[in-house]
Amino acid sequence: MERTLAIVKPDAVAKGFIGEIIKRYETNGLGIVGMKMLRLTREEAEGFYYVHRERPFFKSLVDFMSSCPVVVLALEGDGAIKKNRDLMGATDPSKAAKDTIRNLFGTNIERNAVHGSDSKDSAAFEIAYFFNRLEMIR
């Protein structure tokens, strides 16, 4: 079993898509082993996205991610990272495959509804960033 982190981003939370997005995880073999809703401070968003700190979109990303509540989920399943990446679709919703989360619920490359870990190393860092062992069910 593999674990990955997913975030329902502020745009999808504000539009009321939390349930629809979670349903897609669960019906595709990804179990929820940790979940919480929170509002990231600017500092927390900067810490989470530190790998992008030199990129031109960093400030905009941090502003967006700290603008409204998010839902963070630790997901578990066989090949969870790839499965979640496939469910999300391409970063740009206009280029995402039909019926992927970003195609259905995203607006643009920044407001693309969800975040997902891209590797085992990222998943380990990201899950630990939001959850301690007492907040996980397994």
* Residue 15 pLDDT > 90: yes
User: How many other β-carbons are positioned within 10 Å of the β-carbon of residue 135?
Assistant: 13
pLDDT at 20: 98
pLDDT in tens, 37-72: 999 999 999 999 999 999 999 999 999 999 999 999
115 is catalytic: yes
Banded model confidence at residue 73, pLDDT cuts 50, 70, 90: very high
Banded model confidence at residue 14, pLDDT cuts 50, 70, 90: very high
Give dist(CA 40, CA 63) in Å, integer. 10
Give dist(CA 49, CA 62) in Å, integer. 8
Contact between 99 and 40 under an 8 Å Cβ cutoff? The reply is no
Banded model confidence at residue 138, pLDDT cuts 50, 70, 90: confident
In the set 8, 101, 115, 117, the catalytic residue is 115
pLDDT at 52: 92
**Strand, coil or helix: what is 74?**
strand
pLDDT in tens, 81-133: 999 999 999 999 999 999 999 999 999 999 999 999 999 999 999 999 999 99
Q: For residue 60, give both structure tokens.
A: 């905009």
